[in-house]
């Protein structure tokens, strides 16, 4: 059995992976991880730094993955950066080792710049929501419900803090995991932004494109994505030099 850890985007939750999970073959055990502050962990205080988020997710996977299982990680948008951090953190711990990191819908971290240079505390709710809208991370249905909207904005603030923290402090992280870049054909990120992911791994880079935009995994891209993941995870692991 192989485990596929699923790491969500900023402002999101494990719910973004519902369609993908249904399409994965039985040979892959999906583990849809959620950061504190949402889903089943909504009562827990949200993380505000990349280090906190990476440690939380690495702890979860270290406890979840059995010794007889292989691990791969699919990280979407913010999750792509956290997946890189988690893969490297697990290597330092001695396992479980991530065989493949599917880095989805984000530019290479060393090309990134902080979304909020002065921190999200200095930004208005409108500015936070506008930033989320740029990345299709905003559910417009929430805005009409003041209590829910307030929680959504607070969660976006913490997640954007995590993203900016990663860019500032962990963007040069390198992993032994193979990196497979996944992106929607209509997303804002092209080869120029994603090819430099090759510098974040000691193994060659693979790039796969799918129909759709930033959230391609919720639409037409879901089925070919699931097939591609199954194909990659079915390949023999490359020996590391």
Q: Which residue has the higher pLDDT, 140 or 74?
A: 74
For 20, the domain range is 2-108+172-232
Closest C-alpha among 101, 92, 94, 73 to residue 17: 73
Query: Is 77 part of a structural domain of the chain?
Result: yes
Classify residue 212 as left (phi > 0), alpha (psi -120 to 50) or beta.
left
**Residue-level pLDDT at 48:** 95
CB 29 within 8 A of CB 181: no
Asked whether 17 and 8 are in contact (CB, 8 A), the reply is: yes
Peptide bond into 96 cis (omega under 30): yes
What's the structural domain count of the chain? 1
pLDDT at 133: 84
Residue 56 lies in a domain: yes
CATH for 187: 3.40.50.1820
Q: Residue 149: pLDDT above 80?
A: no
Average pLDDT score over residue span 228-234: 96
Residue 148's pLDDT is: 66
Answer whether 82's CB lies under 8 Å from 57's CB.
yes
66 CB-near residues (< 8 Å, 6+ apart): none
Neighbour-count burial of 19, counting CB atoms closer than 10 A to its CB (0-12 exposed, 13-18 middle, 19+ buried): middle
Give me the chain's average pLDDT, please: 92
Amino acid 147: pLDDT:
63
- State the average pLDDT over residues 179-194: 96
* Confidence at residue 241, expressed as pLDDT on a 0 to 100 scale: 39
Q: Which whole number is the average pLDDT over 196-223? A: 97
pLDDT value of residue 134: 83
* Beta carbons within 8 Å of 111's beta carbon, 6+ residues apart: 193, 196
Can you give the pLDDT at residue 142?
54
Residue 225 lies in a domain: yes
pLDDT confidence of 240, banded at 50, 70, 90? very low
CB–CB of 146/92 below 8 Å? no
pLDDT tens-digit profile of 86-134?
A: 999 999 999 899 999 999 999 999 999 999 998 899 999 989 988 988 8
Residue 113 domain-assigned (yes or no): no
pTM to 2 decimal places = 0.93
Whether 161 contacts 49, CB under 8 Å:
yes
Residue 140: is its pLDDT beyond 80? no
The owner of tokens 């607070």 is: 154
Rounded to whole angstroms, the Cα distance separating 5 from 171 reads 21
Assess if residue 25 is contained within a domain: yes
Mean pLDDT, to the nearest integer, of 160-178? Answer: 97
Structural domain includes residue 158: no
In a domain, 147, yes or no: no
User: Looking up tokens 């583990």, which residue turns up?
Assistant: 31
Q: What is the mean pLDDT of residues 188-212?
A: 97
Q: pLDDT tier at 39 (50, 70, 90 boundaries)?
A: confident
Confidence grade of residue 239 (pLDDT, cut at 50, 70, 90): very low
Those residues whose C-beta lies under 8 Å from the C-beta of residue 169, and which sit 6 or more positions away, are 50, 51
DSSP state of 175: B
Considering Cα of 5, then 39, then 166, then 77, what sign does the dihedral take?
positive
User: Is there a domain that residue 153 lies in?
Assistant: no
Token pair 């209590």 in the structure block, residue: 147
């Amino acid at each position: 059995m192989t485990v596929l850890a699923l790491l969500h985007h900023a402002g999101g939750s494990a719910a973004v992976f519902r369609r993908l999970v249904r399409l994965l073959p039985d040979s892959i055990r999906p583990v849809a991880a959620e950061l504190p502050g949402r889903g089943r962990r909504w009562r827990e205080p949200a993380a505000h730094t990349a280090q906190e988020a990476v440690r939380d997710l690495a702890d979860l996977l270290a406890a979840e993955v059995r010794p007889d299982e292989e691990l791969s990680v699919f990280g979407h948008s913010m999750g792509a950066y956290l997946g890189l951090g988690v893969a490297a953190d697990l290597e330092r711990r001695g396992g479980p080792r991530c065989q493949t990191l599917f880095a989805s819908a984000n530019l290479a971290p060393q090309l990134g710049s902080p979304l909020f240079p002065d921190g999200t505390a200095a930004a208005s709710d409108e500015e936070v929501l506008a930033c989320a809208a740029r990345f299709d991370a905003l559910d417009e249905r929430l805005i009409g419900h003041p209590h829910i909207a307030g929680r959504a904005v607070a969660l976006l603030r913490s997640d954007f803090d995590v993203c900016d923290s990663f860019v500032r402090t962990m963007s040069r992280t390198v992993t032994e995991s193979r990196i497979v870049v996944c992106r929607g054909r209509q997303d804002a990120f092209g080869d120029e932004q994603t090819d430099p992911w090759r510098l974040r791994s000691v193994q060659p880079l693979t790039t796969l494109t799918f129909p759709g935009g930033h959230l391609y995994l919720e639409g037409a891209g879901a089925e070919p994505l699931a097939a591609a993941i199954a194909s990659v995870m079915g390949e023999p692991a490359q020996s590391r030099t």
